[in-house]
Every structure is written in C-alpha cells, then in structure tokens.
Amino acid sequence: MDSNFTSSQPPEANPAFFNYKDWRAGFILIVLRVACVLGAALILFNWETTPPNDRILFIGIYSAILLLTLLPVPYLARASLLLVIIYIVGANSILGWGPWLDGSIFFITCAALASLLFDRHVDLFILTASVLTTIVIAVLQQSGIYQLPPHGLPAITPADWFAYILDFSVPAAILIIAITQFKEAFVRVVGQMQDTLQSFSAERSALQEKVSERTEELNSQTAQFRTSASVARFVAEIQDIPSLIEIVTRLISDQFGYYHAGFYILDEQKKTAFLQAASSQIGKQLIGQGFRVEPDRRNVMNQVIQQNRPILSTDVEDANFVREPNFPLTRSRMILPLAVRGDVIGMLDLHSDQPKAFTPQDAEILKTLSDLIAISYDNMRLINETKNLANQLELSTSFQAQKTWAKFTSRHKPAYQYTPAGVRPIFAFDKQSAAEGMRVPLTLYGKKIGTINLIRKGAVTEWSERERALVEKIAHQVALALENSRLVDEAQKSSLRDQMIANISTRVRETLDVESVIRTAATELRRVFDLKEAEITIGTNQAEVLPGKKPASSIRSK
C-alpha cells in the first residue's frame, strides 16, 4: 500500500492537511540528530575498548550520519543511506561477535525503520537481507572458512545460530506486520478525515457563497428600501394628483434604474386602463396619443387587475414573455397593482433592459411602495372631492343665507342707531353720515347681510388699520350672533307650529263621530288663525256634482 497521503489541495491551502512525506522527512532528521549526539557519546565512551579497524568504521559511519544530517540530501537518498548504515553496523556486530552481541537489534531497527519510511516491499527486503546475511556468516563460521575473533566465549553451534536468527527475525516480522497494519488503519483514518475536511471545506465554500449572495441580496434590498423610503417621502409631500403621478414615475425610473415606468389609472367600470404618466420619451408620446389598455384576458395587465398581484416576466427562460412593439428594449418587466382596500384603481408598469432584473423580493418591496402610492392617490382624490363638496355646500349655504336674510329684513326694522339718547330704529339712511364714518360689512357665509357704520366724536375722523381689523372681528361676531338669533327664532316658531298641530290633532281625535271631528277641526282652524269664517267640505264641490248625485255636505264655523 502506498503510504503517501495526498489531497486535492496543496498543504499550504489546507492547514489541517496531513502529509506523510513531510512527516517522514522530519522523522529522519530527528533520528539523524539523535544518532549524531548518541553516536559521538558512544564513540568517545568505547574508544579505548574498540579495535582500530572498528574505530575507522565507526568514525566513517558517524561522518556519513553527520553529512546526512547537515547537507540538503533528498529524502530517498537520506532514508536509503540511513538503512544501509544501520545494516552495516548490525552486520559488523555479527562478524565481530557472532550470535553473542547486539547485532540483531540493529537488524530489527533497520526492518522497523524500513517499514515506517518505505513501502512494504522495502521492509521485507531488509528483513530477508538481514536473515540471509546472518545465515551466510553462520555457514561460513561453521564451515571454518571464517573465524570469529577470540573473545573467550563458548563455541558456537548451529543451534545457536538458528536461535539467534529466530530471536531477531520473529520480532522484526511482528513489528513489520504491526507497523503495516497501523499504516493501513492510519491511511484509512486519515483518508476519512481528509474526506471529512474536504466535505467541510466544500460546505464552507458553499456557505460562504450563500452568505455572499445573501449579503448582496440584503445590500440590494437595503438599497431598495432606502430608495422606497425616499420615494415615499416625496409622495407624502405632494398635494395634487397630476404632480403625484408625474413625480412617482420619474423617481421610480431614476432611483431604481428602469428605463421606462408607466402610471395607469382605471376607469369607473374598472376595465380600461389609461396611461397617465410615463418616464420615457416613448411613453410620453403614447400619452399624447391617448394610449389605453382595453379588456383582454390574454393581456398581462388585465391579469394584474383581476388577480390583484404583481406579475414578473423576462425574456430568459420565460415562455409567456410578450415583447411589446412600443418598448423593444424591454428584457424584464414587472407590473404592480395600485390597490386601495383590496380595490385595484391602477397599475405601475416597470420595464428594464436587463435580463432577470426583477426578483420576488423586489416585487414585495415595490408592492409596499405601490400600495402607499395608491393610498396617497386615493386620499388626494377624496380630499379633492371633499373640497368640491365643501365649496358647493358653502355656495349653497351662502346663497340660502342671503335669501333668508333678504326675506328676514323685509319683515323687520331695516337699521338701528346708537345716539346719546339711546338706541332707536331708523328708516332712512343719511348718505352724508355714511360717507363720513367707517363702514364695515356684516358678512355671513361670504354674503353681505348688513353694515356697521361708525362716526367718531370731535375733529378726528381717521381710523387706523388696527381699529378697522378690530371692528371687522366684532362685525363677524355680530353676524354670527344675528344668525344664531334668527335660527333660535325660527326654531321657536317651528316648535309653536308643531305644538299647535299636536293640539288640533289631539282635539280632533277625542271623538269618533265624523260630524264632530269636522266641527272641531273647523273651530280650531278659525281660532288659531283668527279667521272670520272656516269651512270644511266633505266630498266633491257643488259644481262637480254629477246628475243624479247629491251634493257634498259641509260644515261652517263662524
């Protein structure tokens, strides 16, 4: 199995990435540095007891280890030379001491390092080479071809060599198997971890993209809200309908970046939509031509009217998109209903020359703005109607007041004058005194019902503006007081009439006899109106009596 763990991303791009090659390179450096320190100490400690030939060998090996540690040697060369050095030390130990010293430890170490630093084939090769080397030395020694240096140790038998080979080959094989299984499990775990990290990385990237998209959407919506608020502020300040529709179409087109915005108003039957305002030059030309949208189920505008909801369309992936001849540049379109209390009164037709320029979120924001525009339009319409009704009522009231006071003054004293002797009525106007004094009209509901004429004492006859304003306010209060007095007088008279009618009705209903009822009615009428005579006739007049018919009966009260 390949022990090189890789990833689709370089280690620099992923901090959590585990690279086995880097680990092995670092591990070899650590081993070499430890070997440099311990090797120097061992050479110095065993210098006296080490044979001259071994001293040269150990110094050469130490120099090789030092060079491998300090020089920038490639990994493969460094690892191979390290294994070769360990193998040579182990073989030298066996050549010098046979099965009685620690040569097997170096073979075991060499096999274990080969398993860690290389693939499985290398560690098996090292183990096989170690076993074969030991077997060759054993055969040569047993056959007498090679003699071990004398160390005063017992004679070596084939059983000793066999036991020696088993002593290092079995642990080495066990270590190789254990390390191999560990590497396989480690590879699997690391692979799973890397897959998980890649999955997390992909999800994080997707989440970042979503966050970025959502941030852009929020920024766009925030800008649209800000623009809508600005347009709404202008709408709230407008006081007349023509200015409202003109400013709304211009602001929406400029602020939102649409090349055409049209404002449609429905007729009284809620069927035909008339173009009232437009932001584009083509739209303004259509207004001059009296452009309208007639009732048609296939027309998207009529669908907006019937369904009372925004409709979006685009020329990209939209089979229902209809390109209008008047607006050939349109690639996206949104039509918003202008509704008040669920009743559609018009539409906002927005055109963009960009594909997919409108989204459902845009529709929600602009729907709120269109509702505000519709409410403002309807409020202005109601205010204008109320003003017209108020003007009509004021004219009617003014005319009625003038007519009533003309009739009232014909039955009462025309004027009153204050003199040192008191207040007296006058029946003829003095034109000279009227010309000398200050005349202030008594005005009621915009109509003149009288005049106040004031003349100063002494030689000073001029009146200041402040005094005139004060007199005018007094005149206004006098006119109101006169009107209230007249209304009270009429109410009292109406009350007396109602009481008289109620009395007559009560007396008439006191009896059930027809003749008594008629007599009572005639008597009461003569008494109430102070008449000379009152006659009540039942039936037709004498002149209308047909031949053969009796004349109508009558009762007269004198």
* In a shared domain, residues 129 and 95: yes
Residue 232 burial (CB count, 10 A) = 16
Whether 550 maps to a domain, the answer reads yes
Give me the chain's average pLDDT, please.
79
Mean pLDDT of 264-284: 87
Question: How confident is the model at residue 413, as a pLDDT?
Answer: 55
Mean pLDDT of 457-483: 80
420 and 414 Cβ atoms separated by less than 8 Å: no
Q: What is the tally of structural domains in the chain?
A: 4
What confidence tens digit (pLDDT) does each residue in 30-70 have? 888 888 888 888 778 877 767 777 778 778 888 888 888 88
245 and 376 Cβ atoms separated by less than 8 Å: no
Q: Give the span between the Cα atoms of 460 and 6, in whole angstroms.
A: 117
Return the CATH number at 252: 3.30.450.40
* In a shared domain, residues 343 and 421: no
Band of the pLDDT at 95, cuts 50, 70, 90? confident
Question: How confident is the model at residue 1, as a pLDDT?
Answer: 44
* In a shared domain, residues 83 and 181: yes
Torsional sign, CA 500, 502, 507, 509: positive
Rounded to the nearest 10°, the torsion over CA 99, 105, 111, 115 is 160
Question: How confident is the model at residue 414, as a pLDDT?
Answer: 58
Which amino acid is residue 537, in one-letter code?
T
Whether 487 maps to a domain, the answer reads yes
* In a shared domain, residues 171 and 195: yes
Question: How confident is the model at residue 325, as a pLDDT?
Answer: 83
Among 444, 447, 437, 443, smallest CA distance to 417 is for: 437
Name the CA radius of gyration of the chain, rounded: 60
> How far are the Cα atoms of 149, 155, 298, 543, 558 from residue 152, in angstroms, in the given order?
9, 9, 117, 184, 184
Segments forming the whole domain that contains residue 441: 413-502
Q: Give the span between the Cα atoms of 108 and 176, in whole angstroms.
A: 9
Residue 449 burial (CB count, 10 A) = 20
What confidence tens digit (pLDDT) does each residue in 211-234 have? 888 888 777 777 777 777 777 776
Containing H/E element for 87? Answer: helix 75-97
* In a shared domain, residues 264 and 188: no
* In a shared domain, residues 17 and 159: yes
Torsional sign, CA 420, 423, 425, 428: positive
Question: How confident is the model at residue 415, as a pLDDT?
Answer: 64
Whether 220 maps to a domain, the answer reads no
Question: How confident is the model at residue 7, as a pLDDT?
Answer: 42
Containing H/E element for 168? Answer: helix 158-237
